[in-house]
Structures are given as C-alpha cells and as structure tokens.
Structure 1
Amino acid sequence: MNWLDSEAFVLFGQHIIWSDMVGNILGLTALALGFRRSLWTWPVQFLSGLVLFGAFYGHLTGSAGKQVVVMAVALYGWWQWQRGTARAADGKVAVRFATWTERAAMAAAAAAGTVAVALLFKAYPSLSWDAWPDAYIFVGTVVAMYAQARGMVEFWFAWLLVDLVGVPLNFANGYAFSGFVYVIYGALVLWGMRDWWLRSRRDSRPVLEGAPA
C-alpha cells in the first residue's frame, strides 16, 4: 500500500483516504476552471481522473471506469477548446445551448449506452458490484464531458444527474470525501449553470472553418 491508499484523517466518523481527497480537490479545481472557461480545466481534470482511478480501482469498477473516460475526454476537450471551439468576445470559449437535435442524440446515447454497459456488467459480475448505478455513472460522465467539450450549457445539467447517483454510491462504499465534495460540486454546478446560461445569450457563435462536427 502506498500513501495515496492510506487514511488521511477521520471526518464525522468517516475515514478519509488520501487518493480520494487529492483526486476530488483536483476535480473541484477543474470544475472551477471550467466555470471560468479556462483551457487549464482539461489537464487538471486529467490529473484528477488519474488519481481517482487509483483510488477506485479494485473497489468500484464503474467509478474507476468513469475516471478512464474522464482522462480520455479531457484529452478531447483540451484539443476541442484549443483548436475547434469558437471564441467569445473576451477571448475565452463561447458557450451555447445545444440544439434539440443534439439534445435528442445525447439523451438517446445516454439511454442506449447505460443499458449496454449495464448488460456488460451483469454478464461479467466481477466488473461491478451494482451494474445499473455503475453503468449510469460511467455513461453519464461521457455525455457530460462531451457536452462540456462542445461548450454546451447542458453539460451542467448532465453533471447534476450523474451526481444524484454518485453521491450516495460514494458514501455507501467508504469514499466519504467524494461524498462531501460532491455537495460542494452541486453548489458549483448550480453557479456555473447560471453563468453559462447567461453567457449563452451574449456570446456569438461564429462558425470555424474546419471545426469538427
């Protein structure tokens, strides 16, 4: 066991693990940077995913898999915000509401993906102790981070839906710091949602030549 797997302290009777604490502090930092529409949200998110993967691996397969997705989408988001996403008047990433077609596509992908991943977990029980919540978290994270990478306000709504399952799951499995931090996440998500919502009304959305669809 390395120090990241060891106990940091006890809070309200809950044992706080170093990796759980460090990974979630990095995650909060990444969320705050995302709220600010800073490009640095993505490398910090990648590092958070790496640390939390180490925390969850072998215990919560769906949550560990979620961190692999976080790292992969963080790389995509870094590229998308750096090269493929339009800029607002202040030079930062412009934000917008998704079209109804995009919303329908994301909702359909989330539903189909959750069913597919849950069936995979059920077929291989060693991958997950509770197939449906793990699948929901795994797929919901993909959808949320994709929406963030594309500058969609719906990113915040998707994170709220993921957190509704993620918070009790973390507490139930001994990752108390994750549970406590997700309360703060909830406040930041609501704040960020309001900010992006208002900005979506002001930001222009110029079409970038060669930008990916």
Structure 2
Amino acid sequence: MSSLELVAAALGVIAVWLTVKQNIWCWPVGLVMVLMYSWIFFEVKLYSDMLLQVVYAALQLYGWWQWTHGGGDHNGRQISRLSAKALASSLLLGALGSVSLGYVMATHTDAASPWLDAALTAFSLVAQVWMAQKRLECWALWIIVDVIFVGLFISKELYLTAGLYALFTLLAVQGWRSWRRTPEFAYA
C-alpha cells in the first residue's frame, strides 16, 4: 500500500459520500481521485482500470456539468429512472464493451485478468454515465460492480483499494436508499 493509494482511497470515500448527498463537490473531488488511481492501476498492470480512470476524468466533468446545467430546463438534473429501453440499451453497450475491451487486453497486452477487468470497466462506465444523469439505477449497478471489484483487488493485493470498494458498496446501498427518498424523485 502506497501513500498515493491511501490518499486516493480517502478522496474516493469523500467523493462517493458527497454523491450520495447530491453535493456538487463530488465531481471535483472525484476528478482528483480518478487521476491518482489511473497511475496506481498502471503500476499494477490493470490497464483497463487505468483507462477507465482516464475516461472517468472526462465523465467527472460531464457529471459536474449535468448536475449544474443539465436537464430540460438547464438548471441541473433531478433524480429519475431509466426507461426499459434505455436500461436494455445501456446494458447491451456494457456487454459489447466488455467483449471488445477484453479481447484487446487479452490479445495485445500483458494485462492481469483482462476479461474480468474489461467487463468491470465497461459496466462501470455505464454506471458512471447513469450517475452523471442522476438515474436511480446507477446505484444497483454500482453495488454489483463494486462487489466484484473487491475480489479483483484482493487478488492483486491492493487491500486498501479492496476495502475502499467494499465501502463503496455500502455507500451505493445508502445512495439507493437516499435517492429513492428524495422528494423531487421522478417515478417516471
């Protein structure tokens, strides 16, 4: 465990906690955290996770904009649900991304756990986009992905990061509960 991993983990907890609370500061704190984790994952040859962190950096900016200027009236997003079609389309994109990235990582790199890492990367991107759009379903997907990440990080001896993702799982459960209780939640 490095000091970089320790700081990144602390920032990750703060970022997710702020997200649960729908605090706009979740995005800049998250941006710093994902940039730090991109280096950590590079060092342990989890290249899909490294690339995921780089994409997360862009999605942090997207989420920040969505939460402040998105939505129909451009005053920021409100919590809503995905339609069945949007849910299915997003999950299909996650599956296609998993296979595509897994193939590239398995055949062109020395990546550790290329297929699992790729699947977790693809579905994390789906969850992150849903979070940026304040879709309630983001929390359910985060719960599934985070539980699997815990096992992957334990296998790579990233114990602090595994603990962080276990905490992320608990925060995702809290996020699901909290966002469902929000008065402006649109049950559409």
Superposition TM-score, scaled by structure 2 size: 0.91
- 2:4 counterpart of 1:19: yes
**How many Å separate the matches in 2 of 1:184 and 1:130?**
23
Conservation of the 8 A alpha-carbon contact between 2:31 and 2:56: yes
Matches for 1:37-52 after TM superposition, within 5 Å? 37-52=22-37
User: Deviation digits for residues 136-187 of structure 1, max 9, x if unmatched?
Assistant: 1211121011000111011111111211221111111121101112222121
Match of 2:42 in 1: 57
Q: Which has the higher strand share?
A: 1
SS at match of 1:96: coil
- 2:184 counterpart of 1:198: no
Matches for 1:77-156 after TM superposition, within 5 Å? 77-85=63-71, 93-126=77-110, 128-156=111-139
Instruction: Give the 4+ runs in structure 1 shifted more than 2 A.
Output: none
Match of 2:147 in 1: 164
Structure 1 stretches lacking a partner, 5+ long: 1-15, 206-213
Q: Which has the higher helix share?
A: 2
The number of residues matched between the two structures is 184
Match of 1:68 in 2: 54
RMSD: 1.8
User: Deviation digits for residues 30-89 of structure 1, max 9, x if unmatched?
Assistant: 1111111111111111100011112111322122122112111101111111111368xx
Match of 1:3 in 2: none
SS at match of 2:112: coil
SS at match of 2:43: coil
**How many Å separate the matches in 2 of 1:25 and 1:105?**
34
Higher Cα Rg, which structure: 1
Q: Closer, same or farther in 2 for the Cα pair 1:51/1:157, shift >3 Å?
A: same
- Give aligned-pair identity as a percent: 25
Task: For residue 93 of structure 1, report the CA deviation from its aligned partner.
Answer: 4.5
- 2:168 counterpart of 1:182: no
Conservation of the 8 A alpha-carbon contact between 2:68 and 2:76: no
Superposition TM-score, scaled by structure 1 size: 0.80
Task: For residue 198 of structure 1, report the CA deviation from its aligned partner.
Answer: 2.3
**How many Å separate the matches in 2 of 1:186 and 1:135?**
19
